[in-house]
Amino acid sequence: MTFKFTGLRFTSLGVAMALLGCGKAQTNTAPSGQPVSVTASGGAAAPALGGGTQVETIPDPTLNNETAFSVTTPASWTFQGVLLQGGPATCDSYFLVSWRSASPDGQSMMEQMPQMLWAYGDGPKPANGCLPIDAPMSAEDFLKNHLAKMMQLTFVADAPLSAAQAQMVEQTRDSYAQGAAFYVSHNLPAPRNTLDVAQATVTSTFGNLAMQGRMTVYVHCTETTRPGMRSMLPGMADRPAQTVGKCTADVVYLNGPANQYASLVRAWDASGMGAKQNTDWGNAWVKRYAQQGDLMTRQLIASQDAKFAAQRQEIAHTMAVQQQVHDQFLATMQQSTQDSIASANANMNARSTAASDMVDLSLDRQTVMDTSTGQISRLPDQMVVGGDLQRVHGNGTPY
């Protein structure tokens, strides 16, 4: 049996780089960081532990129960498998596939464990469903110092990778280089992608029964750096560069009685054994994922447009109010100026009238106006006027 890691890397422009699998199995399409599948290398399935083989299926309930994975197991073994959709509650995973095949006596089993994820860095990262690990980690470190201890397994020795596994790792790393070149060609910062694989022989006990197993761990990490930005506005702080990393660990575990370990390895390493992703389902899943991403983008744009429209409306209203206040202020100022001028003129006229009357009084005269001609004359004060002559103020204004 060989193992296959398949995936699809999404760029910010929505272009994907398919990662090649090993052997004769078709290339599958699904986001990077998806669970690693225990995949057949091609050819007819070989008899396993006697009694032939059977093909079990894992449906996707969110896509009309279409078969997502098919798993070839020994015919007499029981099977359980599930496909769960990822999301924010599972450390922003894509989907989670897990399956287990067990011998009739329940002592031997082959399983793909649920995917484990963690995030690290000083930038925004998933908050829920992540392991409490705050740094990148090698597959060997994760296997020996975390998983084996957690499962109370005893590490015995490193187990070499098969030629197919080594080829898969090389192909995957080549695809990372192609993806980086795509980012560079579009003037985008390329994320740093790594894939590390470790395989080891482990032992444990099941009651009084000595158990031996083989554990394979695939650790894929993606690290993205957001460049910093110098503030152009006074009082606003610079934005420092931020790094965010996310790692996924996919674990395949074969275990059974120690005296049956060799036959278990031969059976499950036979051609055709294990899980294979359904290509049509993978394409449908990726299409839906892209559509959901496009919908989220449109919703975000619409939300921002609505927000900007509301802001523009608020700004227009504020400007209209400010213009109204300004117009009212100018009108008030203009009326106040006119009233001030009128008052000043009235005061000046009053002072002028009083002064002219004082001059007439001091000179013992009176100022009269001929109402028929409008002519102003100044006569002795004792002279009685009448007829067309009418007494007025010294400046000619009427009483």
pTM above 0.85, yes or no: no
pLDDT of residue 394: 75
Residue 133: pLDDT band with limits 50, 70, 90 = very high
Q: Please give the pLDDT value at position 222.
A: 92
Go through the chain and tell me how many residues it has. Answer: 399
For residues 297 and 351, what is the distance between their CA atoms, to the nearest angstrom?
Answer: 79
C-alpha closest to that of 131 among 146, 149, 141 = 146
| 140: its two tokens | 């060997």
Q: Looking at residues 64-79, what average pLDDT do you find?
A: 95
Distance CA 319, CA 312 (A): 10
| Banded pLDDT at 230 (limits 50, 70, 90) | confident
- What integer pLDDT is reported at residue 33 of this predicted model? 44
> Percent of the chain at pLDDT above 70?
82
- Mean pLDDT over residues 194-210, rounded? 94
From residue 150, give the alpha-carbon distance in Å to each of 113, 143, 144. Answer: 13, 10, 10
| Residue 268 in this model has a pLDDT that exceeds 70 | yes
pLDDT digits (tens, 9 = 90+) for 319-332: 777 777 777 877 88
Is the pLDDT at 140 greater than 50? The verdict is: yes
Give the pLDDT band of residue 20 (cuts 50, 70, 90). very low
Helix (H, G, I), strand (E, B) or coil at 31: strand
- C-alpha distances out from residue 79 to 1, 48, 55, 347, Å: 18, 15, 10, 110
Percentage of the chain with pLDDT > 90?
Answer: 37
Q: From CA 162, how far away is CA 38, in angstroms rounded? A: 13
Which parts of 233-388 are beta strand (E)? 242-257, 274-277, 365-370, 376-380
CB neighbours of residue 111 within 10 Å: 18
pLDDT for residue 126 is more than 80: yes
- Domain extent listing, the chain: 7-228+241-277
Query: Is residue 14 pLDDT above 70, yes or no?
Result: no
Q: What is the distance between the alpha carbons of residues 176 and 194, in angstroms, rounded to a whole number? A: 8
Tokens 């496909």, residue?
A: 83
- In this predicted structure, the answer to whether residue 308 has a pLDDT above a threshold of 90 is no
383 vs 396: CA distance, rounded Å: 18
Q: Which two tokens stand for residue 114?
A: 């649920």
pLDDT band per the 50, 70, 90 thresholds, residue 197: very high
Cα–Cα distance measured from residue 147 to residue 142, given in angstroms and rounded to the nearest whole number: 6
Q: What is the mean pLDDT of the chain?
A: 79
CA dihedral 52, 58, 59, 60 (to 10 degrees): -160
Query: Which DSSP symbol is given to 298?
Result: H
Going edge to edge, which strands form the sheet with 365-370? 376-380, 365-370, 389-392
**pLDDT greater at residue 15 or residue 49:** 49
Residue 132 has pLDDT above 50, yes or no: yes
pLDDT at 229: 74
Structure confidence at residue 305 (pLDDT): 66
Q: Is the pLDDT of residue 274 over 80?
A: yes
pLDDT for the residue numbered 10: 29
Tell me how far CA of residue 244 lies from CA of 7, 135, 192, 237, 293, in angstroms. 21, 10, 10, 21, 21
Give the residue, 200 or 357, on which the prediction is more confident: 200
Question: 225: alpha, beta or left, given left = phi > 0 and alpha = psi -120 to 50?
Answer: beta
More confident residue, 297 or 129: 129
Identify the pLDDT of residue 320: 75
| 304 or 198, greater pLDDT | 198
